[in-house]
Amino acid sequence: MSPEHDQQLKTLLREWQPETDLPPRFESEVWHRIALNEEKRSSWLNFDWLFQVTCQPRLAFAIVAIAVVLGTGLANWEAVRSYHHEMANSKSRYIHSVDPFANTLLTSNQ
Amino acid sequence: MKRLVVILALAVLLGLGAYVISYGIARHTFCQMPDVSDSSSWLRQEFHLSDVQYAQVQKLEANYHPHCVEMCTQIMQSRSVLKNLILANGSMTPEIEVALQKDGVVQEQWRADMLRHFYEVSQAMPPEEGKRYLQIMQAQVIQPDMTSGEMATPH
């Protein structure tokens, strides 16, 4: 296509106006749909972010590392919790073994 | 999709592995549990007793135990007599007064014996730990109706 024809085509396109009547609020509806679509794509509920994350080695490693840290932290918390619980029981056992009144109370309550 | 499943499975497996290993290490080091079958093992853990100190405490506990059982029987008998007299009479009688006095004597003897034992045990501990032991155990002498769960533990 020669530059002269190209120029003519451009002029023609600029002058051309479609004669179709657009529905009311057509433009705003289009933008609304685009916005909805983008919002859906970036939602946390559709888990697309997870697929994107696992494609990046650093982030995938971070997920695994977080799981290990959480496992370790939870284990320590649970160990300390059951330790305190067991120590309280052990203390109670000791007091019942040396205090006859505590033993009497225990026996009379049974 | 496959990559996601592999990474999540790896995270869960390694997280569980870390939990099991950390829990095991904690239970065998800084969260070592006292021996359930030995009532005085709490003393060893709580007051950081050495083997020699613990052996001495165990010996004291073993000597005290038969006396404790005897006192327990005396208290129960005294309480039983008092309870029967209270229920059998509609008002205060000389018999109830005598039974109350006897119950008071038994209680006094028991508290004195228990305190004597607490002093002996505290002396077998390092001085600071001995003081802490007495701070915890004095409640049993002063407020005998309080059980261990209700006592404040000073730390």
**In which band, very low, low, confident or very high, does the pLDDT at A43 lie, cut at 50, 70 and 90?**
low
CA distance A68 to A85: 26
Count other C-beta atoms under 10 Å from residue B47's C-beta: 21
Does residue B11 or residue A107 have the better pLDDT? B11
Q: Over chain B, what is the mean pLDDT?
A: 86
pLDDT value of position B147: 52
**Claim: this prediction has a pTM higher than 0.90:** no
Decide if pLDDT at A47 tops 80: no
pLDDT value of position B155: 38
- Alpha-carbon dihedral sign for residues B22, B23, B27, B30: positive
A99 interface with B at CB cutoff 8 Å: yes
pLDDT value of position B70: 87
Decide if pLDDT at B126 tops 70: yes
Quick check: B3 and A108 CB within 8 A?
Answer: no
Quick check: A92 and B149 CB within 8 A?
Answer: yes
Choose, out of A46, A74, A104, the residue to mutate when testing the contact with B (most B CBs < 10 Å).
A104
Quick check: A67 and B18 CB within 8 A?
Answer: yes
Between A11-25, A66-80, B118-132, the lowest mean confidence (pLDDT) is in A11-25
The one-character DSSP state at B147 is -
Question: For a pLDDT cut of 90, what percent of chain B falls above it?
Answer: 44
Asked if B125 and B46 touch (Cβ cutoff 8 Å), the reply is no
B51 interface with A at CB cutoff 8 Å: no
Unique residue bearing structure tokens 């009547």: A21
Could you say which of A72, A90, A103 has the minimum Cβ distance to residue B22?
A72
**In which band, very low, low, confident or very high, does the pLDDT at B28 lie, cut at 50, 70 and 90?**
confident
**In which band, very low, low, confident or very high, does the pLDDT at A72 lie, cut at 50, 70 and 90?**
very high
A86 interface with B at CB cutoff 8 Å: yes
Does residue A81 or residue A96 have the better pLDDT? A81
What separation in angstroms does the CA of B37 have from each of A21, B67, B122, B129?
91, 20, 22, 23
Asked if B96 and B82 touch (Cβ cutoff 8 Å), the reply is yes
B33 interface with A at CB cutoff 8 Å: yes
Average pLDDT over residues B131-153: 70
Residues 97-136 of B with CB under 8 A from A: 107, 110, 114, 117-118
**In which band, very low, low, confident or very high, does the pLDDT at B110 lie, cut at 50, 70 and 90?**
confident
Could you say which of B26, B33, B39 has the minimum Cβ distance to residue A86?
B33
**In which band, very low, low, confident or very high, does the pLDDT at B68 lie, cut at 50, 70 and 90?**
confident
Decide if pLDDT at A76 tops 50: yes
pLDDT value of position A50: 66
Which residues in chain A are contacts of B61 at CB distance < 8 A? 97-98
pLDDT value of position B154: 37
Average pLDDT over residues A60-74: 92
CA distance B20 to A14: 73
Average pLDDT over residues A29-35: 86
